[in-house]
């Protein structure tokens, strides 16, 4: 980053902190006590809480239902990042907005990309960032979080490791339950279309055939053309697609119209980019995976 860019980022950060001090700020809350930890996404936040319990002061920047692709840190979020001992991010283009805030804050915290060492899906030359839709990937994220927290707080490393192993066991049990659900679906029924291309890791792991997406990118911000929709409708009819899966974070209007035009069942309310609200049963990674699996299995059986 150039000197001018560094100075600009610093000025933005200073104004953000001043604004937060003047008006009380707005943004994420911190729960727990211990070393200051910031997690960018709901998935990383939930995994961190599974590892640390209340043993770290955890700030999760995104709230349930928020879109990670276009998030802008609030003044309070900027202050939390500046004070953090550890900053846990997804990487893979999902939370690139973090870079300028880190640069401007002058934080001394360690930045850890928790998706490191995961076998990534690649489409159109870009890695798919939605890695948490496979329990195996979530386990790798847990390991990276355990390592990061243990290095920052060696006194509690044993507890972090123990909690991490316990949650990986939960993820193994979740994986087995999802396989049981998917095994009940006849193989000829396992063909789906989605709102946008975010569930690929889930499909790859459990043998669901992905035919296409209304928004054919990993980001939900793009818009399909009339030609693309016509081609997708042809695929639905010729490939024997059994359901259109509509994620909770994407407007289902086009998916509903496509389902009506093709006579294919639509499944709404799946979690793609975010976990669920507290009390939804999908506020944990294992809960989210099972919630999605149950809806998909019910629709395709």
Q: What single-letter DSSP state applies at residue 63?
A: P
pLDDT, one tens digit per residue, over 231-279 is 999 999 999 999 999 999 888 999 999 999 999 999 999 999 999 999 9
Per-residue pLDDT for 2 more than 70? Answer: no
Per-residue pLDDT for 213 more than 70? Answer: yes
The answer to whether 242 touches 186, Cβ cutoff 8 Å, is no
- Residue 12's pLDDT is 44
pLDDT, one tens digit per residue, over 183-192 is 999 999 999 9
Place of tokens 């043998």: 207
Of residues 221 and 3, more confidence is placed in 221
pLDDT, one tens digit per residue, over 49-91 is 999 999 999 999 999 988 888 798 989 999 999 999 999 999 9
What contacts 170, CB < 8 A, 6 or more positions away? 50, 286
Residue range 194-216: mean pLDDT, rounded: 94
Map out the domains of the chain with their CATH numbers. 3-170 (3.40.50.1980), 180-300 (3.40.50.1980)
Question: What is the Cβ-side half-sphere exposure of residue 245, based on CA atoms within 13 angstroms?
Answer: 32
Place of tokens 């509509």: 246
Place of tokens 């396989």: 179
Per-residue pLDDT for 288 more than 70? Answer: yes
The answer to whether 42 touches 275, Cβ cutoff 8 Å, is yes
pLDDT, one tens digit per residue, over 13-38 is 444 443 333 333 347 989 999 999 99
CA distance 301 to 127: 31
Among candidates 200, 71, 65, which has minimal Cα distance to 128?
Answer: 200
Torsions phi, psi for 80 (to 5 deg):
-65, -40
- Residue 40's pLDDT is 97
List beta partners, residue 127: 122
Residue 282 sits at the vertex; the CA angle it makes with 244 and 173, to the nearest 5 degrees, is 95
Q: Strand order of the sheet with strand 86-89?
A: 30-31, 57-60, 36-39, 86-89, 110-113
List the single range of 168-172, 219-223, 249-253, 277-281 with lowest mean pLDDT: 219-223
Place of tokens 């727990």: 32
């Amino acid at each position: 980053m150039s000197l001018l860019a560094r100075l600009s980022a610093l000025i933005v950060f200073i104004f953000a902190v001043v604004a937060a001090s003047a008006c009380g700020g707005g943004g994420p809350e911190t729960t727990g006590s211990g070393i200051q930890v910031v997690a960018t996404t709901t998935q990383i936040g939930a995994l961190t809480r599974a590892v640390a319990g209340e043993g770290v002061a955890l700030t999760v920047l995104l709230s349930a239902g928020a879109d990670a692709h276009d998030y802008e840190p609030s003044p309070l979020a900027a202050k939390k990042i500046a004070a953090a001992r550890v900053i846990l991010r997804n990487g893979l283009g999902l939370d690139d907005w973090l870079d300028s805030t880190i640069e401007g804050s002058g934080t001394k915290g360690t930045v850890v990309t928790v998706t490191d060492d995961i076998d990534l899906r690649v489409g159109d030359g870009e890695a798919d960032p939605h890695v948490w839709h496979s329990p195996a990937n979530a386990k790798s994220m847990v390991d990276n979080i355990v390592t990061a927290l243990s290095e920052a707080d060696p006194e509690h490393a044993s507890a972090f490791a123990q909690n991490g192993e316990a949650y990986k066991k939960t993820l193994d049990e979740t994986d087995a339950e999802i396989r049981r659900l998917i095994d009940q679906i006849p193989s000829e029924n396992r063909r789906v279309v989605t709102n946008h291309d975010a569930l690929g890791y889930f499909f790859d792991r459990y043998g669901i055939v992905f035919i296409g997406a209304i928004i054919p990118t990993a980001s939900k911000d793009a818009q399909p053309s009339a030609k693309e929709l016509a081609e997708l409708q042809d695929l639905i009819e010729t490939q024997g697609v059994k359901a259109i899966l509509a994620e909770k974070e994407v407007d289902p209007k086009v998916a509903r119209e496509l389902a009506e035009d093709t006579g294919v069942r639509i499944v709404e309310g799946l979690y793609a980019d975010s976990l669920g609200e507290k009390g939804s049963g999908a506020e944990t990674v294992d809960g989210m995976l099972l919630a999605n699996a149950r809806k998909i299995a019910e629709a395709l059986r």
